[in-house]
Structures are given as C-alpha cells and as structure tokens.
C-alpha cells in the first residue's frame, strides 16, 4: 500500500472529510487532497501532525515495515 492510499484509508475509517482532517492538522484542504492523490508529499512537520492526529507512529503512517 502506498502512502497516499494509506492516508485515504485512515481518513475513510474515521468517516472524516478531507477538509475536516486538513483543518485539524492545520494545512489547506488542497494540500491534503494532493497527499491523498499522490501528487505532493507532506513536509516532516505535516507528517508528524498527521501521525499525531491518527494516533499512529510515523513508520506506520508512511507504510514503513520493520526488517
């Protein structure tokens, strides 16, 4: 699963809108939409905010598996 697919899945599981998540995280709706589309990658500070919002680790957020 790609980061953008995972981000979309996390949002759908919580039954939230893109605008709702963007507002909670402090980014624009367009930026969040671009992350879910895979058009743009978030900054580190945005990744941290998203991980905090979804209450998961950064590794889990970006689909990084432990070896």
Mean pLDDT estimate for the chain: 93
Residue-by-residue DSSP string for 15-28: T--HHHHHHHHTS-
Q: How far is the C-alpha of 21 from the C-alpha of 3, rounded, in Å?
A: 16
DSSP annotation of 12: H
| 66 confidence band (pLDDT: 50, 70, 90) | low
Q: Which of the two residues, 65 and 30, has the higher pLDDT score?
A: 30
Instruction: Quote the pTM value.
Output: 0.89
């Amino acid at each position: 699963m790609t980061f953008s697919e995972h981000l979309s899945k996390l949002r759908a599981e919580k039954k939230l809108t893109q605008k709702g998540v963007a507002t909670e995280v402090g980014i624009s709706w367009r930026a969040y939409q671009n992350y879910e589309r895979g058009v743009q990658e978030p900054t580190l500070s945005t990744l941290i905010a998203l991980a905090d919002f979804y209450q998961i680790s950064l590794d889990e957020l970006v689909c990084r598996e432990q070896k």
